[in-house]
């Protein structure tokens, strides 16, 4: 059998995990895959994959040699790896049928076993041990592409610009590679601006792999340009539509998809939501050394796709309509599309709370931040920053930022012991560059043209005011339920705007079912929920039992002989 050959070992992950990224399958392993695909032949020089185009699927080389290359903004394509017999081509894009992030060309006449996305997902489930090796390789290859920005859009703009930070945050949180060209530091940026005859005022721009150029695009426009999201079939009726791709929504998606339900999961921004922005989660079961929120949520996102869940991110639900218990529920999306499903799971979470002071909007995105990711960490490197909040998310962010910045001032209304886990309090106390100020509130922000110069805060008792010169402020002051879009749905809310479920609505409701039949609420948006990642994931698992019971009840009412005794226990031992 042949072997993949690395051409330019420039990526750290390739150097350290090469054998896992580019394994060679034995003849017996290839034989196990043959029933999932078909043989295709490619002539010398012919393309198997092109950047920005949807390829034929996952491909195993049976004969010949294939070279994989990545695009560079300047110069000739850069070779990544050369595949021989027994090697396979693909990364996470092939799992979901998204456009390719790399180019692949036949070096000589090539014969390959090509497996389309839906059959690849079946393979990963049916061939568990072999599927594990393949899945690990697909994930690691995506990580490698993210390291270099290969195949993603090129963002041209100043790294401190709020719109640049918005676009980079969106791409990073969706696990998509990108390249940033900053005119202040990169000669290539100047060449692009000159070639396209742009002025500084027109920045930022996004150059998509398709060749299209977008001027300061919305997240939705950028996602469609790079193929992250596609049109939804208006005639299809899903078993369940999940609104929100945070821990609860992704857990519901994984369990529902693994049990054979047809699932569409939507989110208006990115998978992971607030949990995905956590610098490190250390109290989640099974991760004794902790895990970043992004890593945890990316695993869940990939796992859901493995089980055939269709993802529509970013797609925003604007209205939910119900025409009776037995009719499909209808979701109207912000882009005008319509989704129909037999059941709905609302996992829309909460919106970040803003400071109740005047004139903060110009600073949001450039100087005021609602999460602390590596993007913000690099932006604030070596500077003094302030952070407002007393919960665990604030504590995690403060610890992370203390390792990236010169100094962190943590401002909280109450003593930390009343609102934060003890392990985080201990870690904050041990950090020499974190100061904690309690019993205070931000009173004013100073600055101009979107650039913060200082903040002022007042002691809650004495009213004494203090001033701190900083450029960046991080807010972790809680969130409000994201339920405004449900205003005309007839779904019952509690006095704070969270969704009532189960017996709080009626004694005959399934667990987590709302006041409307067949509509369920889970995670932070649910009244009385515990605001923890593990609790949200538990809601997502639990709701699938209720979904089965609801769908079985619908079927029995249409054809009573089909289902005599719907059970609340899901058909799984997971």
CATH superfamily of 237-351+486-558: FAD/NAD(P)-binding domain (3.50.50.60)
pLDDT-derived band at 147, boundaries 50, 70, 90:
confident
CATH of domain 154-225: 3.40.30.10
- For 152-162, how does the pLDDT look when each residue is reduced to its tens digit (9 = 90+)? 999 999 998 99
- For 273-300, how does the pLDDT look when each residue is reduced to its tens digit (9 = 90+)? 888 878 788 888 999 988 988 999 999 9
Distances in Å between the alpha carbon of 413 and those of 426, 432, 436? 19, 22, 11
Dihedral Cα 528, 531, 534, 536, nearest 10 deg? 60
pLDDT at 319: 96
**Is the link from the previous residue into 463 a cis peptide, with omega within 30 of 0?**
no
- For 156-186, how does the pLDDT look when each residue is reduced to its tens digit (9 = 90+)? 999 989 999 999 999 999 999 999 999 999 9
Q: Look up residue 25 and give its two tokens.
A: 């399958």
The kind and range of the H/E element at 294 are: helix 293-306
Q: Which CATH class is domain 361-477?
A: alpha beta
% of residues, the chain, pLDDT over 70: 94
Q: Where are the domains of the chain?
A: 5-148, 154-225, 237-351+486-558, 361-477
| In contact, 48 and 56? CB cutoff 8 Å | yes
Say which residues have a Cβ less than 8 Å from residue 302's Cβ, sequence separation at least 6.
92, 95, 135, 139
> Angle formed by the axes of helices 128-148 and 12-21, to 10°?
160
- CATH fold match for the domains 237-351+486-558 and 361-477: yes
The residue with tokens 């962190």 is 408
- At the topology level, CATH places domain 5-148 in Jelly Rolls (2.60.120)
How many CB atoms are closer than 10 A to CB 549? 19
Question: What pTM was computed for the model?
Answer: 0.88
What count of Cα atoms within 13 Å lies in the side-chain half-sphere of residue 27?
Answer: 2
Q: Look up residue 228 and give its two tokens.
A: 């992250």
Q: What is the 3-state secondary structure (H, E, C) of 208-219?
A: CCCCCEEECCCH
Instruction: Please give the distance of CA 240 from its chain centroid, rounded to a whole number.
Output: 20
CA atoms of 348 and 515, how far apart (whole Å): 17
Say which residues have a Cβ less than 8 Å from residue 130's Cβ, sequence separation at least 6.
25, 29, 32, 33, 123
- For 200-214, how does the pLDDT look when each residue is reduced to its tens digit (9 = 90+)? 889 999 999 989 999
Q: Cα angle vertex 163, ends 158, 165, to 5°?
A: 70
């Amino acid at each position: 059998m042949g072997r993949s050959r690395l051409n330019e070992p420039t990526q750290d992950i390739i150097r350290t995990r090469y054998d896992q990224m580019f394994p060679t399958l034995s003849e017996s392993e290839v034989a196990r895959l043959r029933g999932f695909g078909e043989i295709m032949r490619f002539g010398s020089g012919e393309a198997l994959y092109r950047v920005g185009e949807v390829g034929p699927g996952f491909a195993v080389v049976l004969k010949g040699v294939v070279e994989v290359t990545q695009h560079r903004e300047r110069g000739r394509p850069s070779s990544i790896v050369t595949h021989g017999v027994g090697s396979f081509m693909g990364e996470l894009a092939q799992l979901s049928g998204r456009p390719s992030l790399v180019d692949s060309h036949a070096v000589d006449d090539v014969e390959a076993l090509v497996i389309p996305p839906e059959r690849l997902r079946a393979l990963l489930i049916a061939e568990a041990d072999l599927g594990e090796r393949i899945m690990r390789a697909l994930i690691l290859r995506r990580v490698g592409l993210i390291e270099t920005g290969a195949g993603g859009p090129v963002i041209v703009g100043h790294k401190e610009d709020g719109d640049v930070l918005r676009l980079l945050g969106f791409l990073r949180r969706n696990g998509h590679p990108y390249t940033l060209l900053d005119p202040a530091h990169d000669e290539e940026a100047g060449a692009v601006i000159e070639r396209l005859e742009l002025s500084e005022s027109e920045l930022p721009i996004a150059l998509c792999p398709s060749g299209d150029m977008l001027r300061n695009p919305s997240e939705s426009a950028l996602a469609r340009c790079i193929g992250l999201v596609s049109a939804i079939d208006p005639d299809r009726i899903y078993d369940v539509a999940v609104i929100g791709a945070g821990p609860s929504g992704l857990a519901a998606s994984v369990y529902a998809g693994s049990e054979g339900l047809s699932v569409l999961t939507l989110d208006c921004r990115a998978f992971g939501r607030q949990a995905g922005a956590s610098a490190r989660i250390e109290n989640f079961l099974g991760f004794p050394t902790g895990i970043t929120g992004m890593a945890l949520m990316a695993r869940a996102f990939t796992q859901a796709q493995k089980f055939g869940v269709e993802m529509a991110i970013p797609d925003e639900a604007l209205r939910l309509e119900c025409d009776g218990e037995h009719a499909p529920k209808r979701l109207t999306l912000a882009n005008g599309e319509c989704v129909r499903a037999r059941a709905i799971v609302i996992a829309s979470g909460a919106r970040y709370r803003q400071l109740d002071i005047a004139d903060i909007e110009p600073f949001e995105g450039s100087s005021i931040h609602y999460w602390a990711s590596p993007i913000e960490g690099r932006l604030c490197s070596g500077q003094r920053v302030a952070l407002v909040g007393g919960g665990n998310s604030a504590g995690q962010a403060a610890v992370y930022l203390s390792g990236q910045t010169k100094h962190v001032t943590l401002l909280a209304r109450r003593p930390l012991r009343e609102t934060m886990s003890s392990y985080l309090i201990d870690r904050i106390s041990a950090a020499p560059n974190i100061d904690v100020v309690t019993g205070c509130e931000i009173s004013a922000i100073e600055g101009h043209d979107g650039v913060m110069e200082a903040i002022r805060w007042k002691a809650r008792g004495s009213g004494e005011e203090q001033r701190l010169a900083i450029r960046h402020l991080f807010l972790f002051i809680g969130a409000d339920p994201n339920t405004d879009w449900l205003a005309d749905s007839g779904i019952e809310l509690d006095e704070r705007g969270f969704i009532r479920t189960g017996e709080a609505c009626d004694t005959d409701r399934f667990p987590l079912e709302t006041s409307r039949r067949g509509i369920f609420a889970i995670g932070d948006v649910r009244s009385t929920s515990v605001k923890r990642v593990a609790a949200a994931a538990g809601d997502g698992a639990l709701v699938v039992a209720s979904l089965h019971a609801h769908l079985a009840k619908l079927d029995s009412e249409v054809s009573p002989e089909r289902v005599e005794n719907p059970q609340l226990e899901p058909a799984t031992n997971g």
